[in-house]
Amino acid sequence: MDFEKLLADRLNKMGASAIREILKVVSQPGMISLAGGIPSPESFPMEIMGKLTSAVLEKYSSNALQYDPTEGFTSLREVLVDYLKRKGIKSTANDILIATGSQGVLDSIGKVLISKGDRVAVEAPTYLGALQAFNSYEPEYVRMDTDDDGLIPQSLEKVLKLGGIKFIYLVPTFQNPTGRTITIERRKEIAVIIKKYNALLVEDDPYSALRYRGENIPPIKTHAPDNVVYVSTLSKVFAPGLRIGFCVAPDLIKKWLVIVKQGVDLHTSTFNQALAAEYLSEGYLERHLPKIIELYRPKQEAMLSALEKYFPEGFTWSKPEGGMFIWAKGPDGIDMEKVYWKSVEKKVAFVPGKYFFTARGEGIETMRLNFTMIDKKAIEKAIKILSEVIKGSRKN
């Protein structure tokens, strides 16, 4: 049977991910991986899970195991109103839609907004998982320029002036892959621009709670509430395996997000939503988040100081105040994929940065480094080895 001919046209845009192929070696024994993009299991609140589970069964009884409305578990949506208020976002429980991870929101957004060939504006580089979610709806990407302070507002305006942009996708705080944060001044400028052009922004914010230094910066949603779908998740502050994401969207968009979600999974796991409601409403998050921050802060400091100590001249890297990633850039001409293959021979892996760009040929000399998954000693060792590999490959 020729299954190939049965496949839908939309799969043409999806394909096997090249990054997945090159990262296959990461699980080899003895590999120190800076390639991951996931929270450390040490960050999970294991010690309270039994208590949370009992509390949920006592409080909600069989309702915690029953089908539930697509919009989300009422107690969770109610407590998220307070959570969002602390970020400066005004909402009611009715404005909030719970999803199966923020990834679930991104896919639904693609389904609701993108017709084949529609133009979506993205940062260069951007979060690969968003591109994967949108790709099934066959958009064209329009790249916007970024620098150390994130998206350059003039680049956004230039793109919007040309017209025909369905929506803009941004990760403004501790971006994946660069760790960069858009400054408050730029956020205000971006808000003015999207209002001026009546544009829709999808603001993806999974990392802002993981702040190790500096002041919180309010989301762009706070400056342009009617133009922004704000997307966030409990994956980095509770447990990613529970798959609890959420969004606050303008009415019409939310209405359609609910309709498409009905077709996908009816609703997100009731039990997991009830656990999340308990985690937030009983103050567990407030008590646990500082522990996650104290777990990651020293790891990030270890990576920044190892980079300072070992990395060769001609390299620069981001110095984020939080998040899970550092982005390093070598001098023009260095091919980080070549460095990658040499470095995995020495048992150190990272992600070559070019995979996070929509345009071919961009970001060849860049790399994404994750610091959440390994301890400080391994971080120092990995950066030292990586530096030696880079120095070695420049001599050849």
Q: Binding residues for ligand PMP, per CB under 6 A?
A: 37, 101-103, 127, 129, 171, 176, 204, 206, 233, 235, 240, 245
Total residues found in the chain within this entry: 396
* Nearest alpha carbon to residue 167 among 156, 175, 178: 156
Cβ atoms of 380 and 302 closer than 8 Å:
yes
CA distance 149 to 323: 15
Cβ atoms within 10 Å of 6's Cβ, excluding its own:
7
Q: Distance of CA 296 to CAs 102, 221, 270, 332, Å?
A: 22, 27, 30, 31
Shortest Å distance, C-beta 58 to ligand PMP: 28
Among residues 87 and 381, whose Cβ is nearest to ligand PMP? 87
Cβ atoms of 167 and 113 closer than 8 Å:
yes
Tell me which H or E stretch contains 57: helix 46-60
Q: Which residue is nearest to ligand PMP (CB)?
A: 101
Shortest Å distance, C-beta 172 to ligand PMP: 10
Shortest Å distance, C-beta 310 to ligand PMP: 27
Shortest Å distance, C-beta 6 to ligand PMP: 29
Among residues 173 and 227, whose Cβ is nearest to ligand PMP? 173
Shortest Å distance, C-beta 321 to ligand PMP: 17
Q: Distance of CA 316 to CAs 13, 310, 347, 366, 371, Å?
A: 33, 12, 23, 10, 17
Among residues 101 and 219, whose Cβ is nearest to ligand PMP? 101
CA distance 22 to 288: 35
Shortest Å distance, C-beta 163 to ligand PMP: 27
Q: The tokens of 114 are what?
A: 């993108």
Among residues 235 and 269, whose Cβ is nearest to ligand PMP? 235
Cβ atoms of 234 and 242 closer than 8 Å:
yes
Shortest Å distance, C-beta 238 to ligand PMP: 10
Among residues 70 and 108, whose Cβ is nearest to ligand PMP? 108
Among residues 14 and 162, whose Cβ is nearest to ligand PMP? 14
Preceding omega of 125 cis (within 30 degrees of 0): yes
Shortest Å distance, C-beta 387 to ligand PMP: 26
Among residues 101 and 225, whose Cβ is nearest to ligand PMP? 101
Neighbouring residues of 88: CB distance < 8 A, sequence distance ≥ 6: 218, 219, 222
* Nearest alpha carbon to residue 383 among 22, 28, 32, 38: 32
Shortest Å distance, C-beta 260 to ligand PMP: 16
Among residues 70 and 232, whose Cβ is nearest to ligand PMP? 232
Shortest Å distance, C-beta 284 to ligand PMP: 19
Among residues 235 and 300, whose Cβ is nearest to ligand PMP? 235
Among residues 139 and 172, whose Cβ is nearest to ligand PMP? 172
Annotate 166-201 with DSSP letters as a single string: EEEEE--SS-TTT-----HHHHHHHHHHHHHTT--E
Neighbouring residues of 98: CB distance < 8 A, sequence distance ≥ 6: 71, 72, 73, 76, 77, 244, 245, 246, 267, 268, 273
